Amino acid sequence: MIITITDIPVEGKEVEFGLDVSSLNQRINAIADVAEEGSVPPPEYRFAEPPKVELKIELQGSTVMIKGRASGTFFAACSRCAEDLETSLSTSIDVALKPRRGDMGSVEEAEDINFGYYIGNEINCADLIEEQLIIQLPQTVTCSAKSIEECPLAGAKIKACLQNEGQGGTDERMALFRNLKVN
Ligand SMILES: [Zn+2]
């Protein structure tokens, strides 16, 4: 979704589009790949459906004001039971983009995710919203169960493993579950 700045009417321009899932996922994983060694890597996030974006774009002088909302659902492993969880994410967008000239503005502005710069006469809205959405991804996701035993998915798996054990299974990998209490 490329917006040509000189095409933005006085009353503003409303746009709706979906983000490209493969581009978004690739970008998320690229961040995970450069995570510092020794630090806990962020969970692997996967968007399956294109997140929906609704924006109103207005010009205030040479500053482009972008407001709206981006929402979608992503999959990530529960930090506790490792089940694949689908989590919804919705974030409001409120960004001001200034033309990039010689000076880069103040440090505060550079660090503020609500400020940015554009070069030339075009803005890549998809690129901008991808960035905004990635920033909002939680550090960890956890299922609603209070404990791993209460997690219906993990609980069922543990039960299945225990049953397997009862039927004479001697898989060493299951040793962990032998002393685990399940209701
Ligand atoms: Zn869980």
pLDDT tens-digit map of 56-83: 999 999 999 999 999 999 999 888 888 8
CA-to-CA distance for 81 and 78, rounded, in angstroms?
6
Q: List b or e across 40-78, with b for residues whose CB sees 16 or more CB atoms inside 10 angstroms.
A: eebbebebeebbebebebbeeeeebebebebebebebbb
Distance 151 CA to ligand 1 centre (A): 6
Residues 6+ apart with CB under 8 A from 152: 145
pLDDT at 41 over 60: yes
Mean pLDDT score across all residues of the chain:
84
**Confidence at 33, pLDDT banded by 50, 70, 90:** low
Most confident of 79-83, 135-139, 157-161, 173-177: 135-139
Q: How high is the pLDDT of residue 182?
A: 58
Q: How far is the CA of 43 from the centre of ligand 1 (A)?
A: 13
Contacts of range 175-182, beta carbons closer than 8 Å, 24 or more positions apart: 180/149, 181/149, 182/149, 182/155, 182/158
Quick one: CA torsion of 113, 4, 56, 104, rounded to 10 degrees?
A: 20
Ligand 1 center from residue 177 Cα (angstroms): 16
Q: What one-character-per-residue DSSP string does 2-71 give? A: EEEGGG--TT-EEEEEE--HHHHHHHHHHHHHTSPTTSPPPPPPEE-SPPEEEEEEEEETTEEEEEEEEE
101 CA to centre of ligand 1 in angstroms: 49
- Residues around ligand 1, an ion, CB closer than 5 A: 78, 80-81, 143, 151
Q: Residue 19 pLDDT more than 90?
A: yes
Measured in Å, residue 1 CA sits from the centre of ligand 1 at 37
Rounded distance from Cα 155 to ligand 1 centre (Å): 9
Q: How much distance in Å is there from the Cα of 141 to the middle of ligand 1?
A: 8
* Neighbouring residues of 11: CB distance < 8 A, sequence distance ≥ 6: none
Separation of CA 75 and ligand 1 centre (Å): 13
